[in-house]
Amino acid sequence: MIVPPSVQSDVQHDRRANLMSGKSVSAVFESVVPLTIGLEEEVFLLDRDSLDLAPCALKLLDRLEAGSRFKAELPAAQVEILTPPVRTVEEAIAALAEGRSALAASCGSQLLPMAAGVHPFAAPEGQLNRGERYDRIAAAYGPVARRQLVSALQVHVAVGGADRTLAVYNALRSYLPEIAALAANAPFHDGRDTGLASVRPTICEALPRQGVPPAIAGWEAFAADLRWGVTAGALPEPSMWWWELRPHPKFGTLEVRVPDTQTTIADTAGVAAFAHCLIAWLARRHDAGDLLPTAPSWRIEENRWSACRDGVHGALADLTTGALGPTRERLRDLFDQLEPTSRALGCAAELCRGRTLIDQNGSMRQREVADAEGLRGLAAWLSASFCEPYPG
Give pLDDT tens digits for 68-82. Answer: 799 999 899 999 999
- Of the pLDDT bands very low, low, confident and very high (cuts 50, 70, 90), residue 382 is very high
User: Which position has the higher pLDDT, 145 or 270?
Assistant: 270
pLDDT digits (tens, 9 = 90+) for 335-372: 999 999 999 999 999 999 999 999 999 999 999 999 99
The pLDDT of residue 376 is above 90:
yes
pLDDT for the residue 90: 97
Instruction: Name the strand (E) or helix (H) holding 192.
Output: strand 192-193
Region 27-37: mean pLDDT is 94
pLDDT digits (tens, 9 = 90+) for 100-156: 999 999 999 999 999 999 999 999 999 998 888 888 888 888 899 899 999 999 999
Partners of 186 in the β-ladder: 198
The yes/no answer on whether domain 5-384 falls in CATH 3.30.1490.100 is no
CA angle 306, 308, 313 (to 5 degrees): 60
The pLDDT of residue 15 is above 60:
no
pLDDT digits (tens, 9 = 90+) for 182-221: 999 999 999 999 999 999 999 999 999 999 999 999 999 9
The pLDDT of residue 158 is above 60:
yes
User: Which position has the higher pLDDT, 44 or 8?
Assistant: 44
Domain ranges of the chain: 5-384
Cβ distance 186 to 202 under 8 Å? no
The pLDDT of residue 275 is above 70:
yes
Cα distance between residue 30 and residue 28, in whole Å:
5
pLDDT for the residue 7: 34
pLDDT for the residue 361: 98
The pLDDT of residue 1 is above 70:
no
The b/e string for 239-278 (b: 16+ C-beta within 10 A; e otherwise) is ebbebbbbbbbebbbbbbbbbbbbbbbbbbbbbbbbbbbb
The pLDDT of residue 16 is above 70:
no
- Of the pLDDT bands very low, low, confident and very high (cuts 50, 70, 90), residue 293 is very high
The pLDDT of residue 17 is above 70:
no
pLDDT for the residue 180: 98
The pLDDT of residue 88 is above 50:
yes
Cβ distance 57 to 81 under 8 Å? no
pLDDT for the residue 192: 97
**Share above pLDDT 90 across residues of the chain, in percent, rounded to a whole number:** 77
Instruction: Name the strand (E) or helix (H) holding 82.
Output: strand 78-82
User: Which position has the higher pLDDT, 19 or 151?
Assistant: 151
Return the SS3 of 19: coil
Cα distance between residue 110 and residue 87, in whole Å:
37
Phi and psi at residue 82, in whole multiples of 5°?
-120, 145
Phi and psi at residue 28, in whole multiples of 5°?
-60, -40
pLDDT digits (tens, 9 = 90+) for 325-338: 999 999 999 999 99
Query: pTM, whole model, 2 decimals?
Result: 0.93
Q: Where are the alpha helices (DSSP H) in the chain?
A: 5-16, 22-30, 57-62, 89-106, 132-141, 143-146, 162-172, 176-183, 200-204, 219-232, 265-287, 297-310, 327-345, 348-356, 362-384
Phi and psi at residue 371, in whole multiples of 5°?
-60, -35
pLDDT for the residue 5: 33
Task: Give residues with Cβ within 8 angstroms of 183, minimum separation 6.
Answer: 153, 198, 258, 259, 260, 262, 271, 357, 361, 362
What end-to-end distance do the CA atoms of the chain give, in Å?
45
